[in-house]
Structure 1
Amino acid sequence: MAKGSPPAAGLPQRPSPRWSPSSPVPARLARRWGPAAGEWAVGLAVALLFTWWARTVDDNPVVRSGQIAGLAALQFRLAVLGIPLLALVGWAVVRGGARLREWGVRLGAAGVAGLVSGFLAGGQVFMLRGTPWPINGLGGDTGSLDYWAQSVVRTGTFHNVYSPGIPHLVAWLAEQFYHGNAGLVFKPLLIVLTALTCPLVYLAWRMVLRPLPALGVAVLCGVSQYMPYKQYSPLILLLLVPVIAKLAQWLRGSPAFTAWGAVLRGAWLGVMLGVLFITYSGWHVWSFPGAVVLVLALFPWRRAGGRVRGLLLLGGTAVAFLAIGGDYTLKMLGASNTKDLWCSQITLTQPAYLGELPFSAVNWNQPGVFPNVVGTFAGLDFWTVAMIAGLGLAVALGLRRPAVLGLVACFGGSWLLRFGFAERMVSDQNIRLFPHTTFEIQYTLTALAVVGCVLVAERLGDLTRAVAALASERAAATPGLPALPRLPAVRFTAVGALLALLLAGGMAASAITDQYLPAPPSEHTGGSLAWAAHQLRKPDGACPRYAHNGTCTAPPTPPEPPMPTTGTIICHQLWDE
């Protein structure tokens, strides 16, 4: 219930000790922030523990039998950690009071989020076993980041319009732990970012959703957006949308804030938006049009006091954001004539396609991989149809909810920019990275499908309780009318949801990891990226343990990434050697 809103009719009202003026401040803070701190601690600790334990998987990652054994070892570890976690949650909801049940569900959800992304990170530990280099070695985006980080090590800066956060972080880590060799930073950095993905996304969505819906979004979207060679990019996307949803919630509730409360809330949002922006700015661009429309729609125009509080909230957000990302914003605006000339088969795919992308696809002749058994509808696969249906349910049942508003705004902005930029790519000879909108559209639609299912479940629960209450009244008023059977207990709802999400997350993480396990480039799969990491000579001059035929090559010296302002688009096949 929003702060300052009237109590819902028919619901018993009781004073909350959390907000009682007579309650000591430390006690109020402990009641409010204790479970939140526990969610942070459990989610991050479980993810890092699973990742560390994956170091003990000692199978060969470059042969198929070893890969199967390694994936099975990760599933075994998932079960060993997951079963006790679910048992503790079950004990809490059955034996504990209301407070313990709340703690159990919240900590259990955080733990499941940690286990799922820990599996992804553990899979990356396994596939890179025996090599110090990251996925794809020092090629592609990693090579560009390595060049910029080395420039930061030498000169303190780098000359490009790319977001500065990651190059500066890599340079600092290289100086602190790797004697200035930035190339050695990427493997542990990307593994840690992968491990933290689902817990951080879960915690971000907890700002606007309850534990189980937040976990559903974190698991399904965190796994589907996994990008092992550049994990910071999807992580920023996954965190940005709930921050925009929180902005919508606070802006709508700003008339009830004090002046300082509005400013401080806005400053906190601005800090988060600024840090995300300097880490990877692309998602801010795609989300910007929808966010502007959302702010204009929710701004409290009708109340003078509300307008002041709304302006204070937005002003605090803008000041904090510009304090962190202002310099980079000016740099981006000054490089607006830079062109994106890279065209792949993803660019040439019909622009309304939102299905599986080529770099995550595998050949149908591999064991255990089958075509879509559900079939398609007018060119749309089953998951796309389900996402569209979820969008409709979420809008129909919960359009006024902050989570739905934020998701719809980001979806709409990226959808419009996608077609606007694609329409002009030939006339302007500039791709403008429009294929990247695919990830944001997939993410927002998947999250809306989760929220839509939750809203349907809530409505069905309300309907069931209303029907049961009406039937009980009629049975009591009509002698001889048999009473309806009692509704089944729902005390294990949380355990069932956690079990389903843990199983789904573990199976999906295994499938995604399998697509990136080392495979020769001739097979044209994502496994060629991990294969490349095993073919580069280590800093001590030795070849990695699983180098092909025991031979390897020296790590390449990445060239300076170009910043073209002229030229024509050049299309390549993703698997061109």
Structure 2
Amino acid sequence: MLRSRGALLLLEAVVAFAGALALPMMAVGFKLDPLDRIAQVSGLAAIQFRFALIGLLFIAAVVLAMRLRGGRHFDLTTRISAAALAGLASGFVAAGAVVALHGTPWPMFGLNGDSGRIVEWAHAVANGQPSGSPVYPPAPLYTLGYYAEWFHGGNTAYAFKDLQILGAAFFGPFVYFAWRLLLSPLRALAFGVVPAFALIDAYKPYAQTVLVVLVPVLVALVVALRRSGTENWRPLLLKAAGFGALIGVLFLTYSGWFLWSAAGVFFAAALYFPWKTDRAKGAAFLGVTLAAFMAVAGRYLVVMLTEGQETKDFNFRFDTFTDPAYYLMWRTDMPGKVGDWPPPGEFGGVGLFALVTFICLGVAIWLGLRKPMVVTITAMFVSAWLMRMYIASHMYETQTVQLYTRTNNQLLYCGLILAALVAHLVSQRLAERRTLDNGDAAAVRGRGLPGREGAVIGTLCALLLLLGTVSSSMADRYMPAQDGTYRILPYVSHTIRQMNGKCPQFAPEHKCSKDGDQTWLTYIR
């Protein structure tokens, strides 16, 4: 049983990661000028066509599986198709990055801003030297450094372009398998992967990937803690060690989300600790989890607790001057022409999207008040909200920002998950109350209504359209343009002189310089 389940998960992984790489590999062969808007639109349409065609092939396979051999392979085909859509969706965004950076070897933003610092620090650690910031998460720096040594002769700048594309491509499979710890394949895609695509980022993909993976992993940890009192010792301790190691790797990759989430997770862990079954097993589970975490990330945690206390963020950006209660959209810190911000809403300045999100959040708590998934995510939302307001309330006194605006992403993601879980909880309630006997079910099928199978196929079709539209929008966000938004990042990459002394293929007017276009500095206040 375990072997077959492991084989099925391996099959899902192969399909998901292959799907994530398919579209970027196809986009490499596109022949277009990435700075021409018509070419950008054509490129997005070409990616969309391939995304839809491949997705429809998987859905067609599900339809065939429903009709052939009595539907024996329907569940397997559904599982494979859900994994494929998760990979294809993030592969769409990665393919957009391939188009945006076509003709230049530089990563987005070249050697400017965060990109330049990461490239410099990764080169240092790869050569056995300390990075420029001891508190910066070491995993991205070492990954970039070693990848550059293996594939780019130590050139971390050119290597970072590859990892931006690969990081965006693997976003979907990573979040999909994190949610597979808790949900079935189709539900993981619908209620976990879809909300995450509001945050997908091709510039520094590892930060957002850690967030969208960390939330379900921490929820799964609380669920496992709740069940620990009735588990056998061997699987209990192995599971605890696995959780600790995985959380340690996430902490080494990007630690900020841990700060915003800590209070909520501690609350949920105390609430679902097996106080009434076997406290010793619960304590052992937490102890082994902590020990494995410290073995993986203990040294970096000590650095964060000591030197991290002295790190101050004095960088007041666009979003630090806006209403701190608004978190539903991030306009970046290079806004260009913005107008009113936050956008004016219909109800006391609050828009319809916010109202729907808040209502769904309340309904999710109502329907899932006793479920650790809902309670833990809600606690993480509240934790991030309180940390955000606490830090912002001291901003005038300390004249520091301390990255409090980064809580935007966690608040939005947790809120979207809770909204999506309403459909999950409602469908569970409906399934529990279904009273059709075998004869009634056969009559339903006889009238051409396939029941669960029809719901699965309809959901896959809806998710294909939704993910295709969202991915296209997020890919378009990085099409190079000199407009002061995130599009300036790949635009700069086309204006930096290459290491061989030549300009990138599509440099505007065939002109370039050592640092590239610097007009982005005028957007920073």
TM over 0.5: yes
Q: Which residue of 2 aligns with 1:489?
A: 450
Out of 201, 206, 223, which is 2:175 matched to?
Answer: 201
Q: Which residue of 2 aligns with 1:544?
A: 504
Helix, strand or coil at the partner of 1:438:
helix
Q: Go from structure 1 to structure 2 and tell me whether the alpha carbon gap of 1:447 and 1:97 turns closer, same or farther (over 3 Å shift).
A: farther
Helix, strand or coil at the partner of 2:402:
coil
- What is the Cα deviation at residue 456 of structure 1? 1.9
Write the distance in 2 (CA, Å) between the matches of 1:266 and 1:506.
Answer: 37
Write the distance in 1 (CA, Å) between the matches of 2:191 and 2:30.
Answer: 29
Q: Which residue of 1 aligns with 2:315?
A: 342
Q: Which residue of 2 aligns with 1:398?
A: 368
CA shift digits 1:417-474 (9 cap, x unpaired): 11111111221222111100000000011111111122123334545x34x67xx8xx
Write the distance in 1 (CA, Å) between the matches of 2:113 and 2:67.
Answer: 52
Q: Which residue of 2 aligns with 1:61?
A: 34
Out of 191, 203, 223, which is 1:249 matched to?
Answer: 223
CA RMSD of aligned residues (A): 2.5
- Corresponding letter in the other structure for 2:58: L
Q: Go from structure 1 to structure 2 and tell me whether the alpha carbon gap of 1:575 and 1:216 turns closer, same or farther (over 3 Å shift).
A: farther
- Corresponding letter in the other structure for 1:186: F
Count of residue pairs brought into register by the alignment: 511
- What is the Cα deviation at residue 338 of structure 1? 1.6
Please identify which structure carries the higher helix content.
2
Q: Does the CA-based 8 Å contact 2:318-2:335 persist in structure 1?
A: no
Stretches of structure 1 that go unaligned for 5 or more consecutive residues are 1-27, 366-370, 473-482, 557-571
Percent sequence identity over matched residues? 35
Q: Which residue of 2 aligns with 1:575?
A: 523
Q: Which residue of 1 aligns with 2:191?
A: 217
Out of 420, 437, 440, which is 2:407 matched to?
Answer: 437
- What is the Cα deviation at residue 320 of structure 1? 0.6
Q: Does the CA-based 8 Å contact 1:259-1:312 persist in structure 2?
A: no
* Range with greater deviation from structure 2 (59-68 or 382-391): 382-391
Q: Which residue of 2 aligns with 1:141?
A: 114
Q: Which residue of 2 aligns with 1:51?
A: 24
Write the distance in 1 (CA, Å) between the matches of 2:210 and 2:115.
Answer: 17
Write the distance in 1 (CA, Å) between the matches of 2:479 and 2:28.
Answer: 16
TM-score, normalised relative to structure 1: 0.84
- Corresponding letter in the other structure for 2:162: P
Q: Which residue of 2 aligns with 1:357?
A: 330
Q: Does the CA-based 8 Å contact 2:363-2:422 persist in structure 1?
A: yes
Does 2:388 match 1:418?
yes
- What is the Cα deviation at residue 239 of structure 1? 0.5
Q: Does the CA-based 8 Å contact 2:330-2:408 persist in structure 1?
A: no
- What is the Cα deviation at residue 358 of structure 1? 1.6
Larger radius of gyration: 1
Q: Does the CA-based 8 Å contact 1:362-1:515 persist in structure 2?
A: no
Write the distance in 2 (CA, Å) between the matches of 1:273 and 1:70.
Answer: 38
Helix, strand or coil at the partner of 1:358:
coil
Matches within 5 A, 1:42-441: 42-96=15-69, 100-160=73-133, 161-303=135-277, 306-335=278-307, 336-359=309-332, 376-441=346-411
Q: Go from structure 1 to structure 2 and tell me whether the alpha carbon gap of 1:278 and 1:99 turns closer, same or farther (over 3 Å shift).
A: farther
Matches within 5 A, 1:472-487: none
Does 2:464 match 1:505?
no
Q: Which residue of 2 aligns with 1:18?
A: none
Q: Which residue of 2 aligns with 1:12?
A: none
- What is the Cα deviation at residue 530 of structure 1? 1.1
Stretches of structure 2 that go unaligned for 5 or more consecutive residues are none
Q: Does the CA-based 8 Å contact 2:336-2:523 persist in structure 1?
A: no
Write the distance in 1 (CA, Å) between the matches of 2:13 and 2:418.
Answer: 24
Matches within 5 A, 1:443-454: 443-454=413-424
Q: Go from structure 1 to structure 2 and tell me whether the alpha carbon gap of 1:394 and 1:99 turns closer, same or farther (over 3 Å shift).
A: farther
Helix, strand or coil at the partner of 1:155:
coil
- What is the Cα deviation at residue 383 of structure 1? 2.1
Write the distance in 2 (CA, Å) between the matches of 1:51 and 1:340.
Answer: 36
CA shift digits 1:42-69 (9 cap, x unpaired): 1111111122111122222111111111
Q: Does the CA-based 8 Å contact 2:237-2:284 persist in structure 1?
A: yes
Write the distance in 2 (CA, Å) between the matches of 1:430 and 1:573.
Answer: 21
Write the distance in 2 (CA, Å) between the matches of 1:363 and 1:555.
Answer: 21
Write the distance in 1 (CA, Å) between the matches of 2:329 and 2:287.
Answer: 41
Write the distance in 2 (CA, Å) between the matches of 1:415 and 1:487.
Answer: 49
Q: Does the CA-based 8 Å contact 1:174-1:181 persist in structure 2?
A: yes
Q: Go from structure 1 to structure 2 and tell me whether the alpha carbon gap of 1:540 and 1:97 turns closer, same or farther (over 3 Å shift).
A: farther
- Corresponding letter in the other structure for 1:516: Y
Write the distance in 2 (CA, Å) between the matches of 1:246 and 1:354.
Answer: 26
Q: Does the CA-based 8 Å contact 2:55-2:85 persist in structure 1?
A: yes
Q: Does the CA-based 8 Å contact 1:274-1:325 persist in structure 2?
A: yes
Write the distance in 2 (CA, Å) between the matches of 1:218 and 1:132.
Answer: 34
Q: Go from structure 1 to structure 2 and tell me whether the alpha carbon gap of 1:511 and 1:414 turns closer, same or farther (over 3 Å shift).
A: same
Helix, strand or coil at the partner of 1:224:
coil
Write the distance in 1 (CA, Å) between the matches of 2:381 and 2:448.
Answer: 39
TM-score, normalised relative to structure 2: 0.92
Q: Does the CA-based 8 Å contact 2:333-2:524 persist in structure 1?
A: no
